[in-house]
Structure 1
Amino acid sequence: MKYTPQNPTPSDALKRKSVEPVICYPVDSLPAYDASVFAQARESMQLIDEVIVQPRDASMFDVPKGHFFRIVCPEGSQVGDLNLWNAHDLNERFYSGKTRALHGTHVSTGDHLWSNLPYFRPLATVTWDTLDWYGWDDFGGGVHDVIGTRCDPYTNRLLSGGDYHYCCHSNLTRALAAEMDMSLEQAEPYVHDVLNVFMCTGFTHDTKQYFMKASPVRSGDYLEMFAHIDLKGGLSACPGGDCGSKHSSEEAQCAPLKVEIYKPADGTLSRWKSSELSPYSRTHGL
């Protein structure tokens, strides 16, 4: 808490605070991640497309079901904000909140990116992470978070009084509108909370405020994912660069990002089972 308590400490305060925590969503019943399912496919997959995302801008890309995609840092240290949609229905999109509840504040190899209710299924699975060595630092920071929302012009106006139109929210809205031939007003509601790729974040030990620090990403690093359904993605190269100082400004040094799409060789994913809609949504639709 950030404020001075207004009430006296009760006599049993220590007892109340020492109660053991309980994991809200035990994931033992989820199928364990089996890297061997994807190993052969990763060895023989072929690059079929790539998209360059310019600094302080966003680009769209498509990933067919059963393909891999990589978000690559090709030049200087740079973080990105990722949105994912069902390529055939934008109403189904990445659900960062439930992904966080199931897998934790930061994702890495073996974690799923889940879709929103009532669809609720894995959209993608992380299959390789060159920054998995980072783990947790002394500040409580980790890489690839699903706790931050996305930088946006609304919050920027609230906190600074100024307008900045290259926030990740704005970038993703413009990119989606152009891709889908929508107006900005039509596209904006589909832009959602993100996976902050390469971003190094956490909560301060004292006030539990969301913090960012310079990303450990370097040229050649990448986060690789496998698409369980046909995906449409949007990626913004954050105006904060490596997010070591501030975002939503022209002050940070920014670099491009790259998305690579890979097709596995035929027959290399024989053990993979496609992602289906939540059984609840099929049998107890509201």
Structure 2
Amino acid sequence: MSSPQSLTLRLNPQQLDLLQRCIANGDAADLQSLAQRAIREMKNNSVTSAKPAAPAKPDLSGLSDQRQLLATRILEPGTGKALELMKGQVLRIEQVEGGQCADFNCFNLHDYKEFMHVGRTRTLHGFNPGPGDFLWSAPPRERAMMFILADTVRANDVMFPRCSANLYESVYGFHKHTNCHDIQSEAQREYGLTPDDVHDSFNLFMNTVIAGERGRIERQTSKAGDHVDMLALMDLLAVPNVCGADIMRTSNFSLKPLKAEIYAASERDLASVPALADWSTQRKPADFRQPTIKADRPLKRDTDYVPQFTNAPLVSQDYVVELSAQEIDTLESFGLHPYYGTDRAAALRDVMYSWWEKRYMD
């Protein structure tokens, strides 16, 4: 058995703040007892969740589900369309023949620099977002842009990037080929956007799986009439397109049309959206130190620039924690040597924040 030992935790103010909030919540009396609790509960796999329960689903039984159809458009193979979609309207992307992938992008109609971000969406909702999930804008905005109301296939993807002209030239030898980036670029050009403004798509009706260390595209399973309904939570420029991949499984080696319909949302649609918190860190241009959009392409250094990084400089302080011989043995049993070597204090810090993740995030 090991001997009792004093470990010196090095914590910066941000790290300390998180642990102090645990103490304020009643998780422990002080840093010492919090460390001991973390060791004990991580060993016994007995961490209890303090994550707030999901809000109860609203009662929608008395609300109308009738929608008013406002517009319909057929998207032919090789094309897409930029559509103005107002807050409270529903966009339906529907299979005409079945078996066709659609790429989808959207922008804040009043500020194109706020756009859908598949990375943020993937982090919050996984690789295959579906009904009940949101489409989120990129940092630093990070606002819910759309809410997925319905999906009759449940085969959407946020792993794969849009296909591009270079993909078809470098892999398949085509100098010209239909591709999602160019289709998106052309559709968005109607609103003054450039090819550089295209961003990774939400891939509708794209059947993907994880295979080893990579994603893999499988054959389509959608049929005529299958659809995805998305509710706009702000005024948007919504841009669906028929995926241009006709030599891949993406759309079963053929291209087919898709139908886009815009509806006025029903009472039931609007009431089904879960309440979302407003966070001070969902920043708007008025919050930016540099709110002006560059009008030229070359990057030039600002000679008057003075760094203002958040919370910098980060200065760590030492906090002593006394552990018994048994607690030291338990700490050793977690097998953190490959990461921290003989630095038991660093291993303890790992255990404490891993405990926090289990208690407040899992």
Does the pair score TM above 0.5?
A: yes
Relative to its length, the structure with more helix (as a share) is 2
Q: Report if aligned partners of 1:215, 1:243 keep a CA contact under 8 Å in 2.
A: no
d(CA) in 1 for partners of 2:276, 2:72? 25
What amino acid sits opposite 1:223 in the alignment? V
Q: 1:45 to 1:246 in 2, by over 3 A?
A: closer
1:72-91 alignment, distance < 5 Å? 72-91=94-113
Q: Which of 178, 195, 201 is the equivalent residue of 1:194?
A: 201
1:1-286 alignment, distance < 5 Å? 32=55, 34=57, 36=59, 40=63, 43-132=65-154, 143-177=155-189, 179-180=190-191, 182=192, 187-205=194-212, 208-240=213-245, 243-244=248-249, 252-264=253-265, 269=270, 278-280=279-281, 281=283, 285=288
SS in 1 for 2:225: coil
Instruction: Describe the superposition over 1:184-240 as per-residue Cα deviations: whole angstroms up to 9, x where unpaired.
Output: xx51121110111001012213xx222111111110000111110011111111122
Q: 1:234 to 1:203 in 2, by over 3 A?
A: same
Instruction: Describe the superposition over 1:153-211 as per-residue Cα deviations: whole angstroms up to 9, x where unpaired.
Output: 1233332343234200000001111x21x3xxx51121110111001012213xx2221
d(CA) in 2 for partners of 1:126, 1:56? 25
CA apart distance, 1:152: 0.5
d(CA) in 1 for partners of 2:81, 2:263? 18
Q: TM-score, normalised by structure 1?
A: 0.73
Identity of aligned residues (%): 26
What amino acid sits opposite 2:256 in the alignment? A
Q: 1:124 to 1:36 in 2, by over 3 A?
A: farther
Q: 1:236 to 1:38 in 2, by over 3 A?
A: farther
Q: Report if aligned partners of 1:145, 1:195 keep a CA contact under 8 Å in 2.
A: yes
Q: Report if aligned partners of 2:206, 2:250 keep a CA contact under 8 Å in 1.
A: no
Q: TM-score, normalised by structure 2?
A: 0.59
What amino acid sits opposite 1:212 in the alignment? I
Q: 1:162 to 1:101 in 2, by over 3 A?
A: same
| Unaligned runs of at least 5 residues, structure 2 | 1-41, 43-48, 290-362
CA apart distance, 1:74: 1.6
Instruction: Describe the superposition over 1:233-258 as per-residue Cα deviations: whole angstroms up to 9, x where unpaired.
Output: 111111225952789xxxx3211111
CA apart distance, 1:77: 1.6
d(CA) in 2 for partners of 1:115, 1:155? 26
d(CA) in 2 for partners of 1:271, 1:203? 31
Corresponding residue number in structure 1 for 2:297: none
Instruction: Describe the superposition over 1:95-121 as per-residue Cα deviations: whole angstroms up to 9, x where unpaired.
Output: 000110111001111011000111111
Q: Report if aligned partners of 2:105, 2:239 keep a CA contact under 8 Å in 1.
A: yes
Q: Report if aligned partners of 2:162, 2:180 keep a CA contact under 8 Å in 1.
A: yes
d(CA) in 1 for partners of 2:179, 2:170? 14
d(CA) in 1 for partners of 2:132, 2:110? 25
d(CA) in 2 for partners of 1:153, 1:268? 38
Q: Report if aligned partners of 1:121, 1:278 keep a CA contact under 8 Å in 2.
A: no
What amino acid sits opposite 1:230 in the alignment? D
CA apart distance, 1:270: 6.6
SS in 2 for 1:48: strand
Cα RMSD (Å)? 3.3
Q: Report if aligned partners of 1:106, 1:146 keep a CA contact under 8 Å in 2.
A: yes
| Unaligned runs of at least 5 residues, structure 1 | 1-18, 20-25, 133-142
SS in 2 for 1:62: strand
SS in 1 for 2:63: helix
d(CA) in 1 for partners of 2:97, 2:70? 21
SS in 1 for 2:194: helix
SS in 2 for 1:170: helix
Q: 1:76 to 1:272 in 2, by over 3 A?
A: closer
Structure number with larger C-alpha Rg: 2
